[in-house]
Amino acid sequence: MRLLRAIFVWCNLFGVFELSFGAKERNYEFDVEYIYKKPDCLEHVVMGINGQFPGPTIRAEVGDTLVINVTNKLSTEGTVIHWHGIRQRGTPWADGTAAISQCAINPGETFQYKFEVDKSGTYFYHGHYGMQRAAGLYGSLIVDLPKSQREPFHYDGEFNLLLSDLWHTSSHEQEVGLSSAPMRWIGEPQTLLINGRGQFNCSLAAKFVNTTLPQCNFKGDEECAPEILQVKPKKTYRIRIASTTSLASLNLAISNANQLHGNGSEIHPWHLHGHDFWVLGYGEGKFKPLDAKSFNLTRAPLRNTVVVFPYGWTALRFKADNPGVWAFHCHIEPHLHMGMGVIFAEGVHKIRKVPTEALTCGATAKMLLNDTLH
């Protein structure tokens, strides 16, 4: 009996529980709060999780169940977290979209997200309430194949790169500007970040490219110093890249002078919750029925986010096989904030076993629900 108790305590400390068929339950405690950080060598107030910016990396295997208890330690605003790219099959209430799949988590309250990760890949999570993604509420989520399966390619090591953008004005100030009359646009970000690190008013590549910025000089221990990826000759490395930028559209180039390029906001990246979809084609101007003849119906790429170019159209197809209420919206944060999105209510009558906490909003609603049940 003591042995079993010791094993249970050990598992509980590490937040991992064995389920059937080798799958595990992985438990996390997330405290969302504002913190001071120097991501681009200047001090800013950013949103962090457990004192970290970006938030902790979640790593799991296909078939695992993630249990994330999110506690809102913000004093004056609600919050939610969306698990970008996770299809939430059977758990639409865990999608993390405020006023769509759940109520915002009130200050001081905790909401439990519990869902299965059923597909390997490089994902991320981010705030989906107001402009909280622009404030820094994001992190990486990586789903590996089970240890019994191998990737179709060999590599000796891997690196995880999370791209983001940073403004020197607060997300609250940005929200006020977007809601004002006349509207005040947020402008381009001041800094681009890789894994929460970037440079402002200097360039790491000043010696190699034509720029008026001075060369950046770091001792290496600064909070904003670039992360160095150590590699060995004749080895193969996998680079996982996810972009949680709120506005900037980026191209990542690896060359003799490694640098981050194409900062622009002319395109609209549309993201569909709860599904992957096939991208059938693109075109210029307004879509016409004859354009359907050019659709790729045999080898269309599978995505959950797709770009719509200026003055153009994009055609996609998905199977409505996941009951829930799903957001479909432009993933540029200020565009969504101003209403650039729609909702698909998909087979809602087929949803079963909704957790009680997902049916209510805040402590008052829970008390009313308890009165109704009793």
What's the pLDDT tens digit per position in 168-181?
999 999 999 999 99
Which residues lie closer than 8 Å to 178 by C-beta, 6 or more apart? 184, 185, 186, 334, 337, 338
Does 148 have pLDDT greater than 80? yes
The torsion angle over the Cα atoms of residues 316, 122, 236 and 262, rounded to 10 degrees, is 60
CB 193 within 8 A of CB 40: yes
pLDDT band at 7 (very low <50, low <70, confident <90, very high): very low
Q: 118-143, pLDDT tens digit by residue? A: 999 999 999 999 999 999 999 999 99
Predicted pLDDT at 253: 77
Higher local confidence (pLDDT), 9 or 199: 199
Position with higher pLDDT, 5 vs 328: 328
Instruction: Reply yes or no on whether the pLDDT at 329 is more than 90.
Output: yes
224 vs 15: which has the higher pLDDT: 224
Task: Provide the β-strand partners of residue 241.
Answer: 161
Structural domains in the chain?
2-276+318-373 (2.60.40.420)
Asked if 134 and 244 count as a contact pair (C-beta separation under 8 A), the reply is: no
Instruction: Please state, in angstroms and rounded to a whole number, the distance separating the CA atoms of residues 296 and 317.
Output: 11
User: How many other CB atoms are found less than 10 A from the CB of residue 183?
Assistant: 11
Q: What percent of the chain has pLDDT over 90?
A: 73
Q: What is the mean pLDDT of residues 321-340?
A: 94
CA atoms of 347 and 374, how far apart (whole Å): 30
pTM score: 0.85
Report the mean per-residue pLDDT for the chain: 88
Angle at 60 between CA 55 and CA 63, to 5 degrees: 140
Question: Residue 221 pLDDT > 90, yes or no?
Answer: no
